[in-house]
Structure 1
Amino acid sequence: MALDQLNWKILRCLQDNARMSNAEIGRRVGISSPAVSERIKRMEDLGIIEGYKAIVSPFDIGYQLKAIITLRAFMGKLKPFLEKVRSLDEVVNCYRITGDENIVMEVVLKDHKHLEAFIDQLIVYGESKTQIVLSGVVKQRSLIPIK
């Protein structure tokens, strides 16, 4: 499906506020609420819109540390790690990457003791490097720039 200008505008509205009503989106893009609903449904069916989520502030629910951790997997340990990482609740994002390390993770933790225990879990899989996040520079946003 090629996205036309209306679909791009609808996507921008949803990225700004995924809870925006179809009526409000319609007012902003110049079409009826049923037409917005139909376009959104089609984009969902085609996988263009993958889902909706609430973004929770980890700091406000007791997670005082955010860290970026890279892992250089030991020989034969990458696949076991890729299975394990899905069960680690602290991991917000995890990417397999190129370069000296195999993995980069964004994690949230309660405190330095929690960080230490988390790193201890990684030791069997490879060599890790940890950087503590001091502050955010760019607010979480879509991976795709909307026209």
Structure 2
Amino acid sequence: MDELDQQLVSILQDNARITISDLSKKLALSRPSVKERMFRLQEKGIIEGYSAQVSLPAMGREILLIIQVSGLKVSPQEFEAFVQHKYDIIECHRVTGHVSYFLKAAVTGIERMRLLIDSLIPYGTINTSTVLTSPIVRRKIQP
């Protein structure tokens, strides 16, 4: 990635809905050049896609949880298949160390939190933390 590619990726991380015309002005490149760079970055897998950043509280998901799962009682494949269908879980990471998985969940209230935790108990030892604040939510990725 050259300097222009890095600038392009940075701008798109701030606003993926920016127009090609506005990108071309910011980068001092022609629109076809900007399109070509974007296409090349997608082909290389640097840009994986474009999506909306949704406010969890505005969607009614005011409680954010980090859940550690250790002492897994089933196979990783079985556990991962189970969490695929738990829509309160918004991220799932299999990790090294004594903890097998870190889950990020967003729930509507204490009752939903209880139900989610209860559903996970048969799969291993569960340790849940409630997020109080998030000083870094989405940091721009730079090469």
The TM-score with structure 1 as length reference comes to 0.91
Unaligned runs of 5+ in 2: none
Alpha-carbon separation, structure 2, partners of 1:47 and 1:116: 39
AA of the residue aligned to 1:45: E
Q: Could you tell me which of 67, 70, 90 is aligned with 1:72?
A: 70
Alpha-carbon separation, structure 1, partners of 2:2 and 2:18: 20
AA of the residue aligned to 1:12: S
Unaligned runs of 5+ in 1: none
Counterparts in 2 of 1:73 and 1:81: CA distance versus 1, 3 Å: farther
Match of 1:59 in 2: 57
What is the CA-CA distance between 1:74 and the residue it aligns to?
A: 2.6
What is the CA-CA distance between 1:76 and the residue it aligns to?
A: 3.4
Q: Could you tell me which of 71, 85, 88 is aligned with 1:87?
A: 85
Task: Tell me the SS of whatever aligns to 1:18.
Answer: coil
Runs of 4+ in 1 over 3 A off after TM superposition: none
Alpha-carbon separation, structure 2, partners of 1:124 and 1:77: 12
Residues 23-78 of structure 1: per-residue CA shift (max 9 Å, x gap)? 11111111111110111012112211100111111111211211100001434332
Q: Identity of aligned pairs, percent? A: 30
Q: How many residues align?
A: 143
Alpha-carbon separation, structure 2, partners of 1:40 and 1:134: 37
The TM-score with structure 2 as length reference comes to 0.93
What is the CA-CA distance between 1:113 and the residue it aligns to?
A: 0.7
State whether structure 2 residue 97 is matched by structure 1 residue 99: yes
